Amino acid sequence: MFEVVRAVAALRDEAETGHLGRIERLLDFVRDSGLYPPFHTVESRINEPESVIEGRPYLMFGANNYLSLSEDEAVKAAAIRAISRYGIGPGGSRHMSGTVDIIVELERRLADLTGMEACMTIPTGYMANVGVIRSLTCEFVGRMPYSDSESVVFVDEYIHGSVSDGCRLAGVRTVRYRHNSLDDLERRLEQNRGYTNRVIVTEGVFCLEGEIIDIPEYVALAREWDAMLLVDDAHAIGVLGPRGGGSPDYHDCADGIDLVVGSLDKALGGTGGYIAGSRTLIDYLWLTLRSNVLSSALPCGMAGAMLEVLDRVETATDIRAELASKAHWLRTTLRAEGFTVLGPHDIPSVPLFIGDEAEGIAFASGLLESGIYCPLMRWPAVPPGRCRFRLSIMARHEQRHLDALVEACVTVGRDLGII
Ligand SMILES: Cc1ncc(COP(=O)(O)O)c(C=O)c1O
């Protein structure tokens, strides 16, 4: 796969001149190599186990609606009630048009669920990550609170692209440490001890690796080094913890985490993002977070839906246990069939590792022909030669759906000589 990167670099010399010449050349190359992502049109039930895609029924294993709340009748009714009362949009940036009470209530509830003091919602988790790194590392005015040159961010090498984009936007010194290696992180803290404003970023759940991260170990290291700790809990909220509050709830360590960033579009079944932390940090983000200041707020209907979702999440203990046991069954069954399934933990997105892109693409089309919808995660979303499927399990998946998935994987895997 590194040849692909080299071949792409060589295209510069062959490209037609003019603005679009290089873009067209690149697109042709990506399409001809079969690497252009397929976009299928889902006609109904995108968040249900049985979906209709381009006129054909499919079993859906690509949606992250883990708790199956997206299609819940009471949740949809709550969204409609909120739209009837407030209209479809929030009216603009909260700095310009005020802030809607239903969104303020949602933030109070998210703070309570995560165990943090305060919370701010943002239209997407991506925007939350992109904005927050800059706020934590760059000067706002007059070298306050930090001058850019005293800041450094330590990120796990597999951190989500939204954090990497946030680091680039901030222009801050960014140091990658080996995936989930506290030893390597400590070595790099030591090497960069001259930078006094340190921020460590990890994820609570690395869904592409099948791992729950031991956040208390990061809390201890962050304290030792007087660093801020930011945890991206996009795949942990709703799934981990007795109340579904994500990493702080699961590890009972809310007081050791400075900020938790999360997404409303995975287990919570909606769309949107949030940042939760101390009152001081959230007040500071109200002042500085450009993805809040310069962008419109969460839609009101979504806030209404999410309030209903949160009522359910806190008591969804049985659903969380069932999801874990379905994940356990799927992981162990696929492994017994000879597949490589990454990670030690029973989280509801199960990473089925393929590796080679050409095999991954052939496997993906085999699954599609067998009526299974689960797009391939491939370069550039994962490193070249490390493609995989993220098989997402929802509460409404029944054993017969999982059986059909395994049967399709085994048939396609044998045809391709993968198992
Ligand atoms: C770990 C992680 N962080 C952040 C995001 C971005 O969240 P959102 O979809 O709300 O923009 C995602 C979504 O894919 C994610 O997986």
252, 340: one domain = no
> Residue with structure tokens 């913890």?
241
Which pLDDT does position 15 carry in this prediction? 65
Question: Is residue 202 lining ligand 1, measured as CB closer than 6 Å?
Answer: no
Tell which of 313, 330, 351 closes a domain.
313
Q: 112: Cβ–Cβ under 8 A, 6 or more apart, which residues? A: none
CA of 253 from ligand 1 middle (Å) equals 22
Strands (E) located in 258-378: 259-263, 273-277, 340-341, 349-355, 372-373, 376-377
Ligand 1 probe mutation, 132, 133, 162, 302, most atoms within 8 A of CB: 162
208, 285: one domain = yes
223, 355: one domain = no
288, 369: one domain = no
301, 377: one domain = no
Asked, for residue 1, whether it belongs to a domain, the answer is no
Question: Is residue 58 lining ligand 1, measured as CB closer than 6 Å?
Answer: no
Region of residue 174 (left: phi > 0; alpha: psi -120 to 50; beta: else): beta
**Joined tokens for residue 252:** 């009972």
Distance CA 371, CA 11 (A): 37
Share of residues in the chain with pLDDT > 90 (%)? 85
Sign of CA dihedral 377, 382, 384, 388: negative
Sign of CA dihedral 388, 389, 395, 398: negative
Which pLDDT does position 2 carry in this prediction? 60
Question: Is residue 124 lining ligand 1, measured as CB closer than 6 Å?
Answer: yes
* Distance from the Cα of residue 306 to its chain's centroid: 18
The reported pTM is 0.96
Domain that holds residue 335: 34-67+317-415
327, 297: one domain = no
Asked, for residue 131, whether it belongs to a domain, the answer is yes
Q: Which of 178, 173, 155 is nearest to 228 (CA)?
A: 155
> Residue with structure tokens 């400590």?
186
CATH of the domain at 227: 3.40.640.10
CA of 232 from ligand 1 middle (Å) equals 8
Question: Is residue 156 lining ligand 1, measured as CB closer than 6 Å?
Answer: no
Asked, for residue 9, whether it belongs to a domain, the answer is no
Q: Which of 363, 416, 367 is nearest to 387 (CA)?
A: 363
Distance CA 1, CA 7 (A): 10
116, 245: one domain = yes
Q: Which of 92, 160, 110 is nearest to 282 (CA)?
A: 110
Counting every residue written for the chain, the total comes to: 419
Question: Is residue 206 lining ligand 1, measured as CB closer than 6 Å?
Answer: no
122, 60: one domain = no
Q: Cβ of 56: how many Cβ atoms within 10 Å?
A: 12
Question: Is residue 233 lining ligand 1, measured as CB closer than 6 Å?
Answer: no
Asked, for residue 28, whether it belongs to a domain, the answer is no
CATH of the domain at 388: 3.90.1150.10
Region of residue 92 (left: phi > 0; alpha: psi -120 to 50; beta: else): left
Ligand 1 probe mutation, 158, 203, 209, 263, most atoms within 8 A of CB: 263
61, 82: one domain = no
Distance CA 125, CA 52 (A): 27
Sign of CA dihedral 65, 68, 74, 77: positive
Which helix (H) or strand (E) segment is 173 a member of?
A: strand 173-177
Protein residue with its CA nearest to atom 12 in ligand 1: 234
**Joined tokens for residue 67:** 């708790």
Beta bridge partners of 58: 51
61, 138: one domain = no
Beta bridge partners of 176: 155
Question: Is residue 125 lining ligand 1, measured as CB closer than 6 Å?
Answer: yes
- Beta pairing class for 349-355 and 340-341: antiparallel
Beta bridge partners of 306: none
Tell which of 313, 344, 367 closes a domain.
313
Number of folded domains that form the chain = 2
Asked, for residue 285, whether it belongs to a domain, the answer is yes
Q: Helix 300-313 and helix 101-114: axis angle, to 10°?
A: 30
Distance between the two ends of the chain, CA-based, in angstroms?
21
198, 335: one domain = no
93, 59: one domain = no
Residues of the chain below pLDDT 50: none
CA of 128 from ligand 1 middle (Å) equals 9
Asked, for residue 127, whether it belongs to a domain, the answer is yes
Asked, for residue 13, whether it belongs to a domain, the answer is no
Asked, for residue 236, whether it belongs to a domain, the answer is yes
Tell which of 313, 341, 374 closes a domain.
313
